[in-house]
Amino acid sequence: MASEYGTQTAMPLPAGLSGALPARAGLGLKPEHLRSMLQHRPDISFFEVHAENFMVEGGPLLHFLHRLRDDYPLSVHGVGLSIGGMAPPDADHLTRLAGLLERFQPASFSEHLAWSTHNGVFFNDLLPLVYDPVSLARVCAHIDQIQERLGRRLLLENPATYVAYAGSSLDEADFIGQVIRRTGCGLLLDVNNLHVTCRNHQRDPLAYLRALPLHAVGEIHLAGCAEHTTADGGALLIDSHDRAVAEDVWGLYCTALTLTGPQPTLIERDANLPPLEEQLAEAQTADRMLCACLTA
């Protein structure tokens, strides 16, 4: 099965049908804050929403997203395709996703290197996969199906993980590199995920960063993470999205920008939301670093 996807390099697909995201800072947006964002109309370069939050027939969610889309570039971020799962992406879900992308024509669509559905049950978490040739072939086949169905290139996000598998024979960065080479998809570089994963598995974040296929980066994610002490006294980082971006993550981001050049950069916040001004201040920090990277 691996040989089927082994050597072929995919045809380049269009990233989005209405231009690329600007290489500036954007904000993640939850459905319940759409209306207030439309009232405040903050000075921000793009918004990103989760695809599954807008898979509805009609009503206020679609109405307000249309209005937002009139004024800001939009990125759609999926959390439910279960690319790393054993089963191919669900056909009904892909149809709904295709309809959503058709309707809103976002500048970018991204998903995760993770699994979230098994035997038809949805777990609502981004679960880690084994990195071996079987899993690599399966992930590539799933991404091929998704890109073909959607008629566009997706950006694949590197994961934040808490466990690793004894059976993994490939390094995570190498696995991602091979997926990107074989499928032609891009990389959504989540710097917080990189920080969390490297800390949890005691890896060197700079070495991991350099090992990633940085030429394929199309967007960067930044978020806050939480320190968690386990019952046996271990300290792990949790990808919690519930606080400000950590200093270490800003540092890694600066380094990443020197390697990737300026990239659309999203500040993610999913819980414990601060006043809008605080989120905008983080976006401004990212914008300053992006400017510095341009003039360097």
Binding interface with another protein (CB under 8 A): 52-53, 55-63, 79-82, 85-86, 93, 96, 115-125, 127, 129-130, 132, 134-135, 162-168, 200-202, 228, 230-236, 238
Is the CB of residue 12 less than 8 Å from the CB of residue 184? yes
When the beta carbons of 12 and 59 are compared against another protein, the nearer one is: 59
Position of tokens 């889309």?
Answer: 69
**Least spacing, CB of residue 240 vs another protein, in Å:** 10
Q: Give the pair of three-digit tokens for residue 291.
A: 């400017």
- Of 155, 192, 161, the residue nearest 282 (C-alpha): 192
C-alpha distances in Å from residue 128, one per residue of 15, 83, 118, 249: 26, 11, 13, 21
Contacts of 139 (CB under 8 A, 6+ apart): 83, 84, 113, 129, 179
Which residue type occupies 131? Y
When the beta carbons of 24 and 195 are compared against another protein, the nearer one is: 195
The H or E element containing residue 251 is helix 247-260
**Least spacing, CB of residue 131 vs another protein, in Å:** 9
Distance in angstroms (rounded) separating the CA atoms of residues 179 and 212? 11
**Left, alpha or beta for 202 (phi > 0: left; psi -120 to 50: alpha)?**
left
**Least spacing, CB of residue 17 vs another protein, in Å:** 23
When the beta carbons of 139 and 280 are compared against another protein, the nearer one is: 139
When the beta carbons of 66 and 288 are compared against another protein, the nearer one is: 66
**Least spacing, CB of residue 108 vs another protein, in Å:** 19
**Least spacing, CB of residue 56 vs another protein, in Å:** 4
Distance in angstroms (rounded) separating the CA atoms of residues 222 and 286? 9
When the beta carbons of 12 and 58 are compared against another protein, the nearer one is: 58
When the beta carbons of 52 and 248 are compared against another protein, the nearer one is: 52
**Least spacing, CB of residue 232 vs another protein, in Å:** 5
